[in-house]
Amino acid sequence: MATRKPAAKPNVSADELKQFYRDMLLIRRFEEKAGQLYGMGLIGGFCHLYIGQEAVVVGLESAAEEGDKRITTYRDHGHMLACGMNPDGVMAELTGREGGYSKGKGGSMHMFSREKHFYGGHGIVGANVPLGAGLAFADKYLENGRVTFTYFGDGAANQGQVYETFNMAALWKLPVIFVIENNQYAMGTSQKRSTSTEDIYTRGAPFGIPGELVDGMDVLAVKEAGEKAVAHCREGKGPYILEVKTYRYRGHSMSDPAKYRTREEVQKMRDEKDGIEHVRDLLISGKHATEDDLKAIDKEIKDIVNQSAEFAKESPEPEASELWTDIYADDIPQGAAMEEDA
């Protein structure tokens, strides 16, 4: 960590800082474990890890209040853990088991929690952006003061539907924060090769949507920007864009050999910018925690993650009859809707 800039003075309490450390570490260890289970053949299908990007979602969740909503892409495990979903249920969904959030029918990209206001998990690049504006439309209509965090990537930011959404969201002053998680790659394509301008956060300007560039490896900077964006939305001023600069350490998905960048590039980010090490430095240098305190947190997290993996292995496969459940929002029994129509 010798090359890292001196840590900025934290604008949070020691307890909050420790909570950030815990929350980011949970995501990292959970994802490492998911990677192991994938390697053992226990997770099938796609699996996109969030390792490296933890400070983004943890910082933004600290700016959210009960009832606020979130919707994201297929790189979604971190978002679920950060909003308080149970690691056992998330891991069991990854292994396709009955105890998973979608009863084993959705897998990595398709989990939801009404209780935590988490609206997925979406595999189609860009498609969750209009859905996020829709959630915000409902809140505006209900006048309930809630805000929706709509996360998408730098690659998705080049999609047409994003700009149709910006237009409607600005026109109707929807309480939606568009969070562009710019991890600098869209699969194997770097931002430089795919994107005409460097500053994606300025792309709301033609629609009158303010935007801000944020250091996504610094959880405190993310929290501060998040609070500003939330206040803007709650005051009824309409949407806000946060382009959060981050980096994914692993490949695009588990099947990516990552030949489009060098090992040195990844190592440099890990050594100089890691979001978890940043908070660790703040805790130790500010004397808010000792090495032993942090070791105790590490153990606590390791136990939670190991328990989730055990649960995910032991939970049974779903029954075939599960194919017929959760098709309609209120789980209408098969045939009932047609009988009503007849």
Ligand X SMILES: Cc1ncc(C[n+]2csc(CCOP(=O)(O)OP(=O)(O)O)c2C)c(N)n1
| Rounded least distance, CB 225 to ligand X, Å | 19
Tell me if 73 sits within 8 A of 277, measured CB to CB. no
State yes or no: residue 51 binds ligand X (CB under 6 A).
Answer: no
Spell out, one character per residue from 117 to 156, where the chain touches ligand X: x when CB under 6 A holds, - when not: ------xxx---------------------------xxxx
Binding Mg ion (rule: CB under 5 A), the pick from 23, 68, 154, 243 is 154
Show the tokens assigned to 212.
Answer: 């801000």
Q: Which residue has the tokens 């006048």?
A: 143
Q: What angle do CA 31, 35, 41 make, to 5 degrees?
A: 140
| Rounded least distance, CB 68 to Mg ion, Å | 24
* 119 interacts with, out of ligand X, Mg ion, none, CB within 5 to 8 A per kind: none
Residues comprising the chain, all counted = 342
Which residues within the stretch 158-187 sit at the binding site for Mg ion (CB under 5 A)?
183, 186
Cα 257 to Cα 188: distance, rounded to the nearest angstrom = 9
| Rounded least distance, CB 117 to Mg ion, Å | 24
Binding ligand X (rule: CB under 6 A), the pick from 86, 102, 183, 246 is 183
Distance of CA 87 to the CA centre of its chain: 14
Cα 250 to Cα 247: distance, rounded to the nearest angstrom = 9
Which residues within the stretch 65-94 sit at the binding site for ligand X (CB under 6 A)?
73, 75
| Rounded least distance, CB 268 to Mg ion, Å | 18
Cα 134 to Cα 242: distance, rounded to the nearest angstrom = 19
Tell me if 238 sits within 8 A of 170, measured CB to CB. yes
* Footprint on this chain of Mg ion (rule: CB under 5 A): 153-154, 183, 186
Interface residues toward ligand X, by CB under 6 A: 73, 75, 123-125, 153-156, 183, 185-187, 252
